[in-house]
Structure 1
Amino acid sequence: MRVLIIGAGGFVGRHLLPNLRDEGMEIIPTGRSPDRLRRLFPGCPVQQCDLSRDRAADWLPRLAGIDAVINLAGLIRDGAGGFDDVHEQGAKALFDACLAAGVRRVIQVSALGADEMGTSAYHRSKKAADDHLASLDPEGGRMDWAVLRPSLVIGRGGASTEMLAALAAAPLPLRLGPGDWRVQPLHVDDLVVIIIRLLHRREPFAGRLDLVGPEPMTTDTLTLTLRRWLGLPPARFLPLPRPLLALGAALGDRFGFGPASRDSLAMLAAGNVGDDSAVRAFLGRPARPLAQALARHPAMAADRWRARLLPLATPIRLLLAAIWIWTGIVSLGLYPVEGSYALLAPLGLTGLSATLALYGGALLDLGLGLALLLRWRPVAIGAAQLALMAVYTALISLYLPDLWLHPFGAISKNLAVAGATLAMMAMEAEHG
């Protein structure tokens, strides 16, 4: 069986694809970055696609000889109309092409709540695509199709899992709102098994399946379950009031960092629970309780490091940006210019050369700080900052060595800034 997976490089795709290969299937990972897919899945014949732009005609040549298509593509936040472009219009074009190309089986991974009751833009866009797929062949006579509507999917590498693990790993675990919002998480392993069984199913199929864990739990219980998985001792909760969560979600939407968004917060507060009969039918058992499913993949030191560092990634970048921006502003005139020229004189810089060095260096510092603030190629910017700090430090050591003895550590603090820059580069490299 030849299976094309859209969004293969995402959380579910990275868990699903190796299992499908173990089943003897030929897998074609598809996504916006073929180079990344080749690194993730060496040996697979990857294809490039962009659901936000591709139309049915673009898909037809990619679907030649394909037996099944799995659409895992999804966005965390809307951005500039992303839900409509990717979730709805892009998915509709894909499904139209599948029918035209004679693809035998299509699996659309949607979301629990993408039904008549869904009020968020996320749910509405998913439902529109789900409805379109169902309308193409309602009885599944020409093309078997399944719309999977999972609850919160938990597993190593998931953005929501990492965010919740970060809340759990804090010295005092953080309580989401009142702590009693209800969720019914499904481990990614069980979702993978259901998809595989749908692909192997001999009987025609056309329908929507709500996929949830064995029982509802509160967000407090979920947080404590992840804390135990991380191997951390119990502790009292520190509340995160709803207004503070709303502010974090708004900042996430505005600046595009982290998994928190206004839509995800609204969905969480509304509850994310359902009937697990579909899961029981396909697995022949209830989904594994979350603690049991997590125990099958024991947390390692790297998981604890990741959970503890994740909330620090953005603050470290912003603090480093502030240091460079402030240094540039100070050098442009807040510090007496005569004092700056006096510091440059031992380097042999006077007159025009001193002016060029002073203001050129200030603008360079300011530019690097602004680039880091805007998150423009942060790894490359961090490397440039390290190189510039090394040059500054070498020149000072040669011509102004007394500054190493400054009681406020004006130069020795460069070592700490360099360490923070290396940490920032390591964390930002994950997004490269």
Structure 2
Amino acid sequence: MHVLIVGGGGFIGRHIAGRLVAEGVRVTTAGRVPARLERLIPGASALTCDLSRDTVEAWRGRLAGVDAVINCAGLFGDARGYPLVHAFGPAALFDACRLAGVNRVVQVSALGAHPEAASAYHRSKGAADDHLAALDPTGSNMGWVVLRPSLVIGRGGRSSALFAALAALPVTPHLGRAGGLVQPIHIDDLIEVVVRLLHAPLPLAERLDIVGPEPMTTDALTACFRQWLGLPSAWRVTVPPMVLAAIARFGAGPVTREGMGMLAAGNTAPFAPLVAATGYLPAPLDRALARRPASEADLQAARFVSVAPILRLMLALVWLAGGIVPLVLTPEATSAAWLTRVGLIGIPATTALWAGSLADIAIGLALLTAMRGAALAGIGLMAVYTLILAGMAPELWADPFGALVKNAAVLGLSLAVHTLETRRG
């Protein structure tokens, strides 16, 4: 069997591809950067695609010899991209599959997807689902299945990162009305469902809600992750709605406004139809997590999620203060005396003061807006400042206030923030 996975670089796509490659299935992944896909998924080939642009004709040439197509592509938090990547792009792909004689198509959608849904995310997913279901299979023998998962839990998943981070806090946050019932399923169980459907006899025309056996509150889900991380129970604190809204609005945590809206709406469905259709019984979440015990690295990663935005904010404040204080608060005579020590007086001194201050402010603003490379630029500028001062005023190394020594701490903070900015290319 030759399986093409669109969106193979995402959380679900990577896990499906890894399982199929391990079973000896020929796998091709498709995405915007095929070289990255080949690094992520050893043993799978890759090709270039762009769901936001590719036409039916563009897809037909890529589908020669393909037996099954799994569409795992998706965006989150980019409403402007939803119509193209979730609806029009997949529709072109599905049309091409029918024309190319692909035997079966698996569309990974989302629980609650419907063209009339409240969220733009679910509306766009629902449009693609309906398009696939409406294709006339006469003469093509193409089977199809739409999978609508609830929260998918597993290492590398967005939902897992969120609830592991909440579980790792010193106190357990209670989301109140912001958290409805959810019905999580582990990624391993989702993959098993996909594999069974790839081998299911045709004809195949099915919409399946992919859920775990137990609806649970977000508090219970957080407690489940806390148990998995090996942490004792903690005090529970209700998070005011205004605080949650601020965190989601300003990106000061691992959650977005759209994600909070979905949690508040709830995410459950009957469990029996999935078992009846596949003959497979997904495990309750606590047992599913226990299959892959948490390591010390999992605990550290969970704790770091909530700290990461604070690190960026603190570093940004350091740079903003370094630029604003000399221009606004420092007496002109004091600034002139410092610049004289490094050999600058008059217009060159004023120019250097303004240039340095504006550069500091620019780096601070770049950090606040999460501009890529901002921390690295700060490291370079700080190195320049340190070399100049060390050469012109070496006595600053012995300054009781640590005028130069403190740069080592800022360097460490900058390296940590830069590490957060770095992504696999």
TM-score, normalised by the number of residues in structure 2: 0.93
Checking the alignment, whether the CA contact within 8 Å between 2:213 and 2:283 is kept in structure 1 is: yes
* Selected match of 2:344 from 346, 349, 353: 349
Aligned equivalents of 1:361 and 1:350: distance in 2? 15
Compared CA separation, residues 312 and 180, structure 1 to 2 (3 A): closer
Pairing 1:77–2:70 present: no
Pairing 1:231–2:224 present: no
Per-residue deviation, residues 140-180 of structure 1 (Å, max 9, x unmatched): 96311000011111011101110111001000122222486
Compared CA separation, residues 351 and 266, structure 1 to 2 (3 A): closer
| Alpha-carbon distance, 1:269 to partner | 1.5
- Alignment-derived partner of residue 422 in structure 1: 415
Q: CA RMSD in A?
A: 2.3
Pairing 1:61–2:56 present: no
- Alignment-derived partner of residue 39 in structure 1: 39
Pairing 1:51–2:51 present: yes
Aligned equivalents of 2:354 and 2:164: distance in 1? 46
Pairing 1:266–2:261 present: yes
Checking the alignment, whether the CA contact within 8 Å between 2:86 and 2:128 is kept in structure 1 is: yes
- Alignment-derived partner of residue 169 in structure 1: 168
Q: How many corresponding residue pairs?
A: 425
- Alignment-derived partner of residue 298 in structure 2: 303
Aligned equivalents of 2:161 and 2:293: distance in 1? 15
| Alpha-carbon distance, 1:402 to partner | 4.1
Which range moved further: 108-117 or 27-36? 108-117
Q: Which runs of 5+ in 2 are unaligned?
A: none
- Tell me, what secondary structure is at the counterpart of 2:209? strand
| Alpha-carbon distance, 1:406 to partner | 4.3
Aligned equivalents of 2:137 and 2:45: distance in 1? 32
Q: Which amino acid aligns with 1:392?
A: Y
Q: Which amino acid aligns with 2:377?
A: A
Q: Which amino acid aligns with 2:215?
A: P
Alignment of 1:26-425 (within 5 A): 26-79=26-79, 81-115=80-114, 118-137=117-136, 142-178=141-177, 181-252=180-251, 260-281=255-276, 284-332=279-327, 334-378=329-373, 381-425=374-418
| Alpha-carbon distance, 1:300 to partner | 0.9
Compared CA separation, residues 186 and 390, structure 1 to 2 (3 A): same
Aligned equivalents of 1:174 and 1:409: distance in 2? 39
| Alpha-carbon distance, 1:233 to partner | 1.0
Q: Which amino acid aligns with 2:362?
A: G
- Tell me, what secondary structure is at the counterpart of 1:107? strand
Per-residue deviation, residues 194-242 of structure 1 (Å, max 9, x unmatched): 1111111233201100111011111111100001111111111122223
Aligned equivalents of 1:175 and 1:331: distance in 2? 44
Checking the alignment, whether the CA contact within 8 Å between 1:179 and 1:220 is kept in structure 2 is: no
- Tell me, what secondary structure is at the counterpart of 2:189? helix
Compared CA separation, residues 321 and 198, structure 1 to 2 (3 A): same
Aligned equivalents of 2:63 and 2:308: distance in 1? 40
Per-residue deviation, residues 268-314 of structure 1 (Å, max 9, x unmatched): 11221111123323553421111111111111111111111112222
Checking the alignment, whether the CA contact within 8 Å between 1:168 and 1:226 is kept in structure 2 is: yes
Aligned equivalents of 2:291 and 2:278: distance in 1? 17
| Alpha-carbon distance, 1:353 to partner | 3.6
Checking the alignment, whether the CA contact within 8 Å between 1:179 and 1:219 is kept in structure 2 is: no
Aligned equivalents of 1:377 and 1:179: distance in 2? 31
Per-residue deviation, residues 111-138 of structure 1 (Å, max 9, x unmatched): 1111477322211111111000000136
| Alpha-carbon distance, 1:318 to partner | 2.6
- Tell me, what secondary structure is at the counterpart of 1:46? strand
- Tell me, what secondary structure is at the counterpart of 1:171? coil
TM-score, normalised by the number of residues in structure 1: 0.91
| Alpha-carbon distance, 1:431 to partner | 6.9
Compared CA separation, residues 333 and 262, structure 1 to 2 (3 A): closer
Aligned equivalents of 2:190 and 2:165: distance in 1? 23
- Tell me, what secondary structure is at the counterpart of 2:78? coil
Checking the alignment, whether the CA contact within 8 Å between 1:29 and 1:44 is kept in structure 2 is: yes
Compared CA separation, residues 403 and 246, structure 1 to 2 (3 A): same
Q: Which amino acid aligns with 1:294?
A: L
Aligned equivalents of 2:188 and 2:279: distance in 1? 15
Aligned equivalents of 1:125 and 1:38: distance in 2? 29
| Alpha-carbon distance, 1:95 to partner | 1.1
Aligned equivalents of 2:54 and 2:321: distance in 1? 44
Checking the alignment, whether the CA contact within 8 Å between 2:153 and 2:184 is kept in structure 1 is: yes
Aligned equivalents of 2:237 and 2:14: distance in 1? 34
| Alpha-carbon distance, 1:413 to partner | 2.5
Pairing 1:10–2:10 present: yes
- Tell me, what secondary structure is at the counterpart of 1:340? helix
Aligned equivalents of 2:416 and 2:63: distance in 1? 43
Aligned equivalents of 2:286 and 2:327: distance in 1? 57
Which range moved further: 84-93 or 381-390? 381-390
Aligned equivalents of 2:56 and 2:65: distance in 1? 16
Q: Which amino acid aligns with 1:176?
A: L
